[in-house]
Structure 1
Amino acid sequence: MLTLDIFGFKALWSPYFLFILIVFTAGYFVLTVKFRSLFPDSEPLTKTQGALFLLSMILLYAIKGSPVDLLAHLMFWVHMIQMAVLVLVVPPILILSIPNWFWRKVFTLGPIDSVFKVLTKPLVALILFNGLFSFYHVPIIFDHVMQNGWLHAGYSILLFFVAAFMWWPLLNQLPEHQTLSGLKKVGYIFADGILLTPACALIIFADTPMYATYSDPHVWGEVMSLCVGTANFDSLNLSGPQLFSSISLLHDQQLGGVLMKIIQEIIYGVILGHVFFEWYRKDQAETEQEMKQPLNPLLIK
């Protein structure tokens, strides 16, 4: 089998994308640390918040800037891992990494607060995310998007944002943006898992390869030309992704669907545990507070 080294350093490590993430990271720490005093009611950045932001940037680069992104154009199961991290792992980490005072400042800019409140309504957020994710993996749409660099980048960004909208009702710490109670959060997680299942099932139980991006040498060539450059790709004389993997196209596709569902269940299970214990701690705190309150003398008599 061939190795990825034939594609060159630029295609493997995406230096421009790395530069963009470094700029974002520098801007985050400059605003939340160095110039924090310019924002009223701001609070010091915690070590946990800083670490979470760094982790989110590292994960973004790992899936979209490292050789993993190139592998996702060669093997469908890698693409599904990439998508799982992009929409199920990075957004919640990023939400938790941004201080509340910074979120409040963002919501004072124009109509952002009103738009955000609409798009993060639980029902709207669930339909938006699961609808766009499932729509993306319809074969004819997937193949078309993958053959257009701007469409691919734009749809990836769109999925990332709607995933953040989906996670917001569960994880945000702003009282004015709390739309779900403890029990409703549990139902929200279960509903999210159910809505994502049809797309995974379609991929898992298909009896033939569905995506021309991985099965049609011509379409695959168009996709790879966008990824590594037309001149560079044409000089390699490659016939298809099978040169880089020993797994069959159908098994590659089925493995992708299974991995997506497993990763989703693990992440939702972790969030469910977090929501449950948060709900339990809040209930215990309220009970203790009630017990500490002095009894009404009239009730004693």
Structure 2
Amino acid sequence: MTLTYLTETFGFRATWNPELILLTALLGLAYFSFTGPLRHTFADATPATLRQKTCFSIGLLLFYFGMGSPLNVAGHFLFSAHMLQQSILYLIMPLLMLAGTPSWLLRPLIARKWSRRILSLFSHPIPAVLLFNTLFSFYHMPVVLDMAMNNLAIHNMIHLLLLLAATLMWMPVIAPLPEINRLSDLQKLAYLFANGVLLTPACALIIFSETPMYETYVDGPSLLCAPFFSAPIDKSMFAVPLPPHEDQRLGGIVMKLMQEMTYGAVLAYIFTNWYKKERDQPEDELLPQ
């Protein structure tokens, strides 16, 4: 399964999605314009740091890699590739893009009272964690995933909802807006632990199922869904290198490992920051008044 083979088999547009390359480039241009020459159009705008620019740039690259690269094609034939795609899009990419976004760039989103209430509600830790994990588990029910893989509108709608839910899920941990960053460091540790627990049943069901769960990965897909178009697939064009059951188990393991590594890295970062703040706190502030 080489890049040359995928390009020759499915064509350049289906394999590399030039429309998504253009969209990604426009998003990057907008970000660097508003954090650069156009920064002064925002109130209280401060220059984006090198760290923020790096995080946002990597997030954009992962957005394209997850949605528009050959990984999207492979994800229609291999469940393990599909789960790698899901991990990148919903566990890693939103985290990096939020970390790279200055607070003043998002402040117009809460300029209106009604929009501030909506964002505050859905970024609250309990709704945020329940919404993402419920939608993710719902998407990986066999009937839903098989339907989404064969209908472009449903496929794109679910991706959009999960991207939004994943962004809201990360906001209590790394919210660029102080108004919605309501968790202490210890609470963030508990929040991430709860996230890991809630996603475990879906992964366990996939890993320990005694039979293949998804017809799409048993019989082969009939439709290639890309963000801006779909195309029928000749199933004989692609040789799957793994039996469906083994591929399914590998996919569940990939998802769980990616989750553990991502959450583990963020947990370590939060714990280190909390420890440093506690260590550097003046002794007289630790004494009872």
Partner Cα distance (2:79, 2:46) in 1:
44
Q: Which has the larger radius of gyration?
A: 1
Q: Which runs of 4+ in 1 moved over 4 A?
A: 225-228
2:45 partner SS: coil
1:277 corresponds to which of 269, 272, 275: 272
Query: Letter of the aligned partner of 1:229 in structure 2?
Result: A
Contact 1:87 1:160 in 2 (8 A): yes
1:204 equivalent in structure 2: 207
- After superposition, the C-alpha distances for 1:247-298 in whole angstroms (9 at most, x for unaligned) are 111000000001100110011110111111121122233335738x9xxxxx
Partner Cα distance (1:94, 1:169) in 2:
14
2:251 equivalent in structure 1: 256
Contact 2:171 2:181 in 1 (8 A): no
Whether 2:63 is the aligned partner of 1:60: answer: yes
Alignment CA distance shift 1:145-1:238 (3 Å): closer
Q: Give the C-alpha shift of residue 104 in structure 1.
A: 2.1
TM-align CA RMSD: 2.1
1:111 partner SS: helix
Q: Give the C-alpha shift of residue 225 in structure 1.
A: 7.4
Contact 2:56 2:101 in 1 (8 A): yes
Q: Give the C-alpha shift of residue 64 in structure 1.
A: 1.2
Partner Cα distance (1:198, 1:50) in 2:
36
Q: Give the C-alpha shift of residue 178 in structure 1.
A: 2.4
How many residues in Structure 1 have an aligned counterpart in Structure 2?
283
Partner Cα distance (1:110, 1:12) in 2:
43
1:229 partner SS: strand
Q: Give the C-alpha shift of residue 38 in structure 1.
A: 1.5
Query: Letter of the aligned partner of 2:74 in structure 1?
Result: L
1:135 equivalent in structure 2: 138
1:36 corresponds to which of 39, 46, 56: 39
- Correspondence 1:106-121 to 2 at 5 A: 106-109=109-112, 111-121=114-124
2:285 corresponds to which of 282, 290, 301: 290
Partner Cα distance (2:225, 2:40) in 1:
48
* Further displaced range: 36-45 or 100-109: 100-109
Partner Cα distance (1:78, 1:168) in 2:
27
Partner Cα distance (2:143, 2:197) in 1:
24
What TM-score do the two structures reach when normalised by structure 1? Answer: 0.88
Partner Cα distance (1:268, 1:211) in 2:
28
Q: Can you give the 5+ residue segments of structure 1 that lack an aligned partner in the other structure? A: 294-298
Q: Give the C-alpha shift of residue 103 in structure 1.
A: 2.1
Q: Can you give the 5+ residue segments of structure 2 that lack an aligned partner in the other structure? A: none
Alignment CA distance shift 1:225-1:136 (3 Å): closer
Contact 1:146 1:213 in 2 (8 A): yes
1:49 equivalent in structure 2: 52
Query: Letter of the aligned partner of 1:58 in structure 2?
Result: L
Partner Cα distance (2:88, 2:63) in 1:
8
Partner Cα distance (2:80, 2:185) in 1:
34
2:235 corresponds to which of 228, 238, 245: 238
Whether 2:219 is the aligned partner of 1:224: answer: no
Contact 1:53 1:93 in 2 (8 A): yes
1:33 partner SS: coil
Query: Letter of the aligned partner of 1:276 in structure 2?
Result: F
2:76 partner SS: coil
- Correspondence 1:2-17 to 2 at 5 A: 3-4=5-6, 5-17=8-20
1:125 equivalent in structure 2: 128
What TM-score do the two structures reach when normalised by structure 2? Answer: 0.91
Query: Letter of the aligned partner of 1:60 in structure 2?
Result: F
Contact 1:7 1:228 in 2 (8 A): no
* Further displaced range: 49-58 or 167-176: 167-176
